[in-house]
Structure 1
Amino acid sequence: MTEMSVQLEQIAVRAARGVGDALRAAFVQAQQPSHKRDHHDLVTEHDERTEQVLRAELLDAWPDSAVLGEEGGASGDGAVHWLVDPIDGTANFALGLPFFAVSIGAVANDQLVAGVVYDVMRDTAFSANLHGAYADGEPLRSTGPATDAQNMLITSYPGPGTLAAGRGVEEYTTLLREFGAVRRMGSTALALAYVAAGAGCAYAYGIHPWDVAAGALIVQQAGGRYLPLPDTGRPWEAPGYLAVNGDFDLPGSCLTDLLPRMLPRTATGTPLPGGGLRNRP
């Protein structure tokens, strides 16, 4: 399985890099996005076109596989399942912010085994297999400061729905006060890649498997912690996550107290990973 994971990582990296030139060229042109669920959820012709290219490349390179993509759903039938987000951060891509990624994760034997988050505009491939994590082929370690005050939190919290329900302001105020910086970056995959590179921590809820499959493995293989919310044994399917660098003092963080309040009310009765997260030691 380990050597197979190396092959799958190489296929994913090659496929992601293969669409880079087209996406960079498209980025400098005016976009005409359309909407999926609402005006917060954009899609462009390049999302769909890029996914078609990636789908064909992956199925050709590993015929015994299936692809689940954000735009085109599922295709193929095989032992390896590819989870593909052709442009993670479409709003950034469409509106002119150069912070978006191609994300490809591979699942085999019901576990994450390989993945890549390709930072298109920086031409940097963050990847992982069962041997470790890498940035452009060089070993990647998730080392960084331990405390909230020294760290950055990357999060989309609170979202419009949370605010509309009259929640989130108090918690967000605490995050702003306690963390050195709080950022809404607009790409879950890149947030995880940069946590793997040591950039603090990230929290999100309301995500999809293609958003996190690659990034979760990269964080874990780099020595960081990826905590699915809730932990059902298949981290890429959890609707939420908390990811922290390998040196982060989670028991001493304000997140330990805040996280149960930040989860949607429908999720507050769900046990959090690790057992003791609700209460500080």
Structure 2
Amino acid sequence: MKSPFDSAAISARAEVAVAVALEVGREAARFRSDSNPGTLAVENKGLQDFVTIADRRAEQAIRDGLISPFPDDMFMGEESGGRSGATGTWVVDPIDGTTNYIRGFRYWAVSIAFVVGDKIEIGVVYDAAEDKVFHAVRGGGAFKDGLPIHAAATVDPANALVILGHSRRTSFDDHLALSRRLHERGMDYRRTGAAAIDLIRIAEGAADLYYERHLNAWDMLAGALIAQEAGATVAMPPLDRLLAAGGPVIAHAPGLASEFAFILENEGLSLAG
């Protein structure tokens, strides 16, 4: 399907999304630094799955910032829901890594993606740890505060740093088995709790693999586009499937493709296009 948006319309949206992510991210960081955990009004959505007043305020601010200049766009947020549409949809996680945010561990992000049809057109991630914004427009490269970034050139697994996410929707035994397999190949690994940040670490070459067996669309779409535009190899299910039910994602340095091919095969994934 031909996109109803020309390059100028996409560029205009990307510029607004970068400004909104920076403003909302900084406000969320100020709110957290001025608060104690008891004033965050934490609600438990499930085991280790939380939402705070900051999430809801941030999502409303993002919605207002994006829909005011582009009133015909659709909006899908983690907290308020919504649906995708043919006119183009913003897919937003106002605070990815809420548990980290609550505890004062600054490994959290604001994640904003714009999708049209079966393509991610824009990805924007505010990195709270560095107070910087990463962004990409499909076909235009990836940037960190406006400067180009690139995936790592790593080819030796013994030099690789990998990040493994884990969802309680999936098998912990499988997670441990994968950790062991990568460890035995000489790789070092981390688990951080914020998928959007993990994906931009792949994009900027700070890590060589990010993989998680199940994420929601708002967790991954922006970071996946940024990683892909930075030259990383990215694989995930088709966009319509992700929007409906979530799924796995893998992003890695291109020189390690042979090391991680078994993950794509196990998940039945094809490379993102």
TM, length-normalised to structure 1: 0.83
Residue 151 (structure 1) aligned with residue 160 (structure 2): yes
Q: Percent identity, aligned pairs only? A: 29
Residue 235 to residue 126, structure 1, CA distance change in 2 (3 Å) = farther
Superposed, which structure 2 residues align to 1:135-150 within 5 Å? Answer: 135-150=144-159
| Cα distance in 2, alignment partners of residues 235 and 216 from structure 1 | 15
Q: Which residue of 1 aligns with 2:3?
A: none
Amino acid at match of 1:11: V
Aligned residues: 258
Q: Which residue of 2 aligns with 1:23?
A: 28
| Cα distance in 2, alignment partners of residues 160 and 214 from structure 1 | 22
Give the 3-state SS of the residue equivalent to 1:249 in structure 2. helix
| Cα distance in 2, alignment partners of residues 76 and 207 from structure 1 | 17
Give the Å deviation of 1:273. Answer: 1.8
Q: Which residue of 2 aligns with 1:71?
A: 79
Residue 37 (structure 1) aligned with residue 37 (structure 2): no
Q: Which residue of 1 aligns with 2:201?
A: 194
Residue 72 to residue 151, structure 1, CA distance change in 2 (3 Å) = same
Give the 3-state SS of the residue equivalent to 2:130 in structure 1. coil
Residue 183 (structure 1) aligned with residue 180 (structure 2): no
Amino acid at match of 2:219: D
Give the Å deviation of 1:95. Answer: 1.0
Q: Which residue of 1 aligns with 2:102?
A: 94
| Cα distance in 2, alignment partners of residues 58 and 158 from structure 1 | 30
| Cα distance in 2, alignment partners of residues 112 and 160 from structure 1 | 25
Give the Å deviation of 1:187. Answer: 0.5
| Per-residue CA distance 1:171-206 (angstroms, 9 max, x = gap) | 321222324321001100011111011121100122
Correspondence for 2:269 among 257, 267, 272: 272
Give the Å deviation of 1:234. Answer: 5.1
Root mean square deviation of aligned Cα: 2.3
Q: 1:203 touches 1:240 (CA, 8 Å); kept in 2? A: yes
| Cα distance in 2, alignment partners of residues 48 and 179 from structure 1 | 42
Residue 181 to residue 27, structure 1, CA distance change in 2 (3 Å) = farther
Amino acid at match of 2:111: S
Gaps of 5+ in 1: 264-270, 275-281
Residue 235 to residue 142, structure 1, CA distance change in 2 (3 Å) = farther
Superposed, which structure 2 residues align to 1:88-237 within 5 Å? Answer: 88-130=96-138, 131-157=140-166, 159=168, 161-163=170-172, 167-198=174-205, 199-228=207-236, 231-232=237-238, 237=243
Residue 6 (structure 1) aligned with residue 11 (structure 2): yes
| Cα distance in 2, alignment partners of residues 104 and 31 from structure 1 | 26
| Cα distance in 2, alignment partners of residues 13 and 73 from structure 1 | 22
| Cα distance in 2, alignment partners of residues 224 and 234 from structure 1 | 22
| Per-residue CA distance 1:82-122 (angstroms, 9 max, x = gap) | 00000000010001211100000001243111120110231
Residue 145 to residue 75, structure 1, CA distance change in 2 (3 Å) = closer
Give the Å deviation of 1:80. Answer: 2.0
Residue 77 to residue 113, structure 1, CA distance change in 2 (3 Å) = closer
| Cα distance in 2, alignment partners of residues 213 and 151 from structure 1 | 24
Amino acid at match of 2:107: F
